[in-house]
Structure 1
Amino acid sequence: MSAPQLPAGIGMSRVNVYESAGPDGLRGGTPHMHLICTEMYVGLSGQGTAEFIDSSGYHRYSLGPGDAFVFTPGTVHRLVSDDALTVLVVMENDWLAELGDAVFPFAASGDDKDYATLACAGTEMSVRQRRDAAVLGFNQLADSWRQGDTDTARHQLRAFYTEAARRQHAQGTHWAATVAQGTMAVALDALHARAAAVDEADPKLLRPGRVTPLPPSPTPPAIPGMCGMRRPYLNTPLHDRLLGQSSASEPI
Structure 2
Amino acid sequence: MEAPLPGGIGLSHISAYPWEAADGVCGGSPHLHLACTEAYVVTGGRGAVQTLTVEEGFTETPLEPGALAWFTPGTVHRMVEGSDLRVTVLMQNGGLPEAGDAVFTFPPDVLADPDAYARAAALPAKEGPEAEAAARKRRDLAVEGYLRLREALADGDDGPLRAFHRAAARLVAPKAEEWRERWRAGALAAAERTGEQLTALARGDAAHLAAGTVRAAGPTRRGGYGMCGRRDEYELPGTTLPYYGE
TM-score by length of 2: 0.87
What CA deviation, in whole Å up to 9, does each residue of 1:118-145 have, x standing for no partner? 0123522221111110011111111133
- The residue correspondences of 1:6-25 to structure 2 (distance < 5 A) are 6-25=5-24
Map 1:216-227 → 2, pairs under 5 A: 216-217=218-219, 221-227=222-228
Cα deviation per residue 1:76-99 (whole Å; 9 max; x = unaligned)?
001011111101111001131132
Aligned partners of 2:42 and 2:64 also within 8 Å? yes
Deviates more, 1:202-211 or 1:56-65: 202-211
- The aligned residue for residue 102 of structure 2 is 102
Distance 1:102 1:161, change over 3 A: same
Counting matched residue pairs gives 237
Q: Could you tell me how far 1:172 is from its partner in structure 2?
A: 4.5
Could you tell me which amino acid in structure 1 is paired with residue 9 of structure 2? I
CA contact (8 A) 2:94 2:238 kept: no
Q: 1:44 to 1:180 in 2, by over 3 A?
A: closer
Counterpart amino acid of 2:98? E
Equivalent position of 1:210 in the other structure? 213
Code of the residue aligned with 1:221 in structure 2: it is R
| Residue number in structure 1 paired with 2:118 | 116
3-state secondary structure, aligned to 1:182:
helix
1:190 aligns with 2:193: yes
User: Percent sequence identity over matched residues?
Assistant: 34
Structure 1 window deviating more from structure 2 (205-214 vs 6-15): it is 205-214
Q: Which runs of 5+ in 2 are unaligned?
A: 125-130
Match of 2:170 in 1: 166
Whether the 8 Å contact between 1:93 and 1:182 is mirrored in structure 2 is no
2:25/2:80 contact within 8 Å kept: yes
TM-score w.r.t. length of structure 1: 0.85
